[in-house]
Amino acid sequence: MVPTAAMTTHTAKTVTLITEPHDGTRGQAFLEFRMRFKSALMSEYATATDDYSTWECCNGTDQGGDAEGADPFPPGDGPGHRNARKAAKRRQNHTYKLIFRHISDIRLRELLNELEGDTIGRDAWKLIVRECQEQITDLEVMQYKNITLAITARIGIVGVATAHSAADF
């Protein structure tokens, strides 16, 4: 009997997670995930010889990254430049893979699946932060302003010593 496509079995690779996956919830749940994920990614490298961690890739501070302080690629088109670009590509792909595996929300996975390009790992992390980090609303800004004004007014009334009030002590 010749095996057909319907009869063929596939052995899936075991997926190793470095922390519990995130379900896409905004706010505190994401902050806790981010803390665990960062801790793990700070010691995660695409290869044994890579000088930049996966966390540095997430934040664009790896070689060729777009964040302030990132090391530039070597100049020219020599072997050093090409090797650095290849290492960056491996790092970006590795970072993307880890992020994708650690997001369980189907909506976020669909958004991640749309990403392409040389900065796919960095772009994936920016997308997750944008979608999951708690955003401050205009109402909250107004409430903070009102609280600040109230505290400032109290300090002005109670906490500021004038020449008259100092003489009374």
Give pLDDT, residue 167. 45
The yes-or-no verdict on residue 14 having pLDDT over 70 is no
Phi and psi (nearest 5°) for 119? -115, 40
Rounded Cα gap, residues 26 and 121, in angstroms: 21
Residue type at 48? A
CB 34 within 8 A of CB 141: no
User: Average of pLDDT values for 43-71?
Assistant: 95
Rounded Cα gap, residues 41 and 56, in angstroms: 8
Torsion over CA: 28, 38, 15, 105 (sign): positive
Query: Domain spans of the chain?
Result: 28-132, 138-167
Which tens digit of pLDDT belongs to each residue from 116-160?
Answer: 999 999 999 999 999 998 766 667 667 767 776 766 666 655 454
Rounded Cα gap, residues 130 and 9, in angstroms: 39
Nearest alpha carbon to residue 63 among 130, 17, 49: 49
CB 103 within 8 A of CB 22: yes
Which tens digit of pLDDT belongs to each residue from 63-113?
Answer: 999 999 999 999 988 899 999 999 999 999 999 999 999 999 999 999 999
Give pLDDT, residue 3. 45
Give pLDDT, residue 15. 67
The yes-or-no verdict on residue 6 having pLDDT over 50 is no
The DSSP string of 63-113 is TT-SSTTPPPPPSSSSHHHHHHHHHHHHHHHHHHHHHHHTB--HHHHHHHH
